[in-house]
Amino acid sequence: MKILLITLEYLPQIGGIASYITNTIKHWPNDNDSFVVCAPKIDDEADFDAKNFWPVYRLEPYFNLIRPRWLKLFWSVFKIVKKEKPDMIFVHHVLPIGQIARLIKKFKKIPYVVFLHGLDYGYAQTNLVKKKRLTGVLSEAQTVVVNSNYLRQRVANQFSALASKTVVVYPCSGYSDVKIDPIKLEEMKKKFNPAGRPVLLTCGRLVARKGVDMVIKSLPAIIKSRPDLLYLVGGQGKCRAELMYLARRLGMENHIKFIGFVDDSDLPYLYSLADIFVMPARQEDNGDIEGFGIVLMEASLFGLPVIAGNTGGQPEAVENGQTGILVDPMDTGQISLSVLKLLQDKELAQRLGRNGQEKAKRFIWSKELKKIFK
């Protein structure tokens, strides 16, 4: 079977969806199947695409003036369908890509599977027109794949008829086979933490939902007890400048390092040099929410105790008191107390880290992906 996968987020763009997609292809359980990817143009795409064994079509998805703007992407995808003759379409970003797949199904009789991640589902319900389009796309999908039971319940509450064809495919770590090179680890420590300070780590897109601002606001209270603490923030995003300004305004420049872009090959080493991973993600007014939080599972795989938000699908990635600590993402007091608790109680931190590692090892991509066509 040839699968055409269409997405608006794809590596080397940083983010959970882009990582989810790449791992889906790399760990696909049927070697007889093949993938073709349609994704937006992005800087450094050529180097990344050349490293992979599946073809990638890089497209400009939108018209500037013609409405609907996604019609440009439809025509491009339609040409690719005629050329590649796929047997199945995988849809990431239910709108507008779901509409494109629905039209292609009408003209070419090609079935499609919709993957919902969280923000995309919320965005598709911001007005009545989008809700109507969402209903049509999901009703005609062969399968609806969600990344958490939390999201499955949201879909079931709104579309009870979809329950029988909705499956949960949990994101898994792509680093289960990584072997840490001790020489490189020492080099990373010298680069980011030469003084050997206790390290708090966040990695991900720097957008409001991730809660980095609340961690920064928690630092003054933490620093009073642990003045040697270092907070490493890895990733890029639209909130970076705002977060850097916040750190300066609070006088935390000596306690925060903004690393910027983190290559996939370096991420395991950041997990390995950190003491605690923190990402108290929250729900935004526009519906943006953490559907699961793959970085939480990745951090657990490397034995880190995790502090996460108690919203969205995060409680499925982090078991409160067992693999980490769940906090109110808007409560700096809870965040600071949780950090200090883990720094002061080494036995607790190690126990949560061990439990999290055991849990993360049970999440295997090939096993999860088999659920799609059961």
**Which residue in this structure is represented by tokens 């005609």?**
140
How large is the average pLDDT for residues 332-360?
Answer: 98
Q: What are the pLDDT digits (tens) for 266-284?
A: 999 999 999 999 999 999 8
How large is the average pLDDT for residues 358-368?
Answer: 95
pLDDT reported for residue 308: 99
pLDDT reported for residue 174: 86
Residue 367: pLDDT band (50, 70, 90) is: very high
pLDDT reported for residue 355: 99
Both tokens of 152, joined, read: 């499955």
pLDDT reported for residue 252: 98
Q: What are the pLDDT digits (tens) for 320-334?
A: 999 999 999 999 999
How far, in Å, CA of 371 to CA of 244, rounded? 42
Percentage of the chain surpassing pLDDT 90?
Answer: 84
Q: What are the pLDDT digits (tens) for 112-141?
A: 999 999 889 988 988 899 999 999 999 999
pLDDT reported for residue 16: 82
Q: What are the pLDDT digits (tens) for 288-306?
A: 788 899 999 999 999 999 9
Contacts of 163 (CB under 8 A, 6+ apart): 156
pLDDT reported for residue 284: 86
The burial of 65, by beta-carbon neighbours within 10 Å (0-12 exposed, 13-18 middle, 19 or more buried), is given as exposed
Q: What are the pLDDT digits (tens) for 210-242?
A: 999 999 999 999 999 999 999 999 999 999 999
**Which residue in this structure is represented by tokens 């300004």?**
245
Residue 78: pLDDT band (50, 70, 90) is: very high
Instruction: Indicate if the pLDDT at residue 158 is higher than 80.
Output: yes
Sheet containing strand 143-146, edge to edge, reads: 56-59, 34-40, 2-6, 88-92, 112-116, 143-146, 166-168
How large is the average pLDDT for residues 36-60?
Answer: 91
The burial of 300, by beta-carbon neighbours within 10 Å (0-12 exposed, 13-18 middle, 19 or more buried), is given as buried
User: Domain coordinates of the chain in residue numbers?
Assistant: 2-169, 182-362
* More confident call, 200 vs 48: 200
How large is the average pLDDT for residues 135-151?
Answer: 97
- CATH number for the segment(s) 182-362: 3.40.50.2000
How far, in Å, CA of 148 to CA of 312, rounded? 9
Both tokens of 131, joined, read: 């809700």
Instruction: Indicate if the pLDDT at residue 94 is higher than 90.
Output: yes
Say whether pTM exceeds 0.85.
yes
Superfamily assignment of 2-169 in CATH? Glycogen Phosphorylase B; (3.40.50.2000)
Instruction: Indicate if the pLDDT at residue 71 is higher than 80.
Output: yes
